[in-house]
Amino acid sequence: MRRRVDPTAAAARVVEALGAVDRRGFLPASQQRFARADLPLRIGQGATCSQPSTVEVMLELLDPRPGDRVLDVGSGSGWTTALLARLVGEGGSVVGVEIEPDLVETGRANLLAAGVDARIEEAVPGRLGRPQDGPYDRILVSAEARRMPRTLVDQLAEGGRMVVPVRGELVVVERAGDELRTRAYGTYQFVPLRASGED
């Protein structure tokens, strides 16, 4: 059962970003007529553009702040990357990573067409995230892990937060020194997180 977080200033900022970044511009032509539907939509290569209500919850839980350094794992069409860039503003930075080369090119083209100052890089096979640009204040993972991905946890900055689906549950991870605090927020379906050495 899905549980929404309480309305907060973060929620208001996320709603503003969702209104400002048109999902239609991040979808294949065949899917654009469904841009306003609260559905996951196919973008090719076995990937989907997550449904808006799910993205809204994930971004509320992530709570990216202006100036944050953010990693977007499984950037797909670039829509979540663009939303994150809107939320962190000019003082922040967002890098997306995507395992499918065709989607890397599509995502980059979509960001360019939308005038979004963010970048998408091709994931290195067998490696999660992008440690060379870390640590990150926030990490958003839009694919389901079999277990908590320690490689991504290690890329979190002190006080950082990650939102990641793990075995069907949406999990929030917060780092405080060597301590990790985790909370689960209901069940969600995502495509699998693909990388050897996932743990």
Annotation marks residue 50 as catalytic: yes
**pLDDT tens, residue by residue, 9-38:** 888 999 999 999 999 999 999 999 999 999
User: Of 50, 77, 93, 142, which is the active-site residue?
Assistant: 50
| Domains, in order of start, for the chain | 9-187 (3.40.50.150)
Dump pLDDT digits (tens) for 123-168: 988 889 999 999 999 999 998 899 999 999 999 999 999 999 999 8
Residues 23 and 17: their CA atoms lie apart, in Å, by 11
d(CA 35, CA 145) in angstroms, rounded, equals: 27
Q: How far apart are CA 162 and CA 42, in angstroms?
A: 25
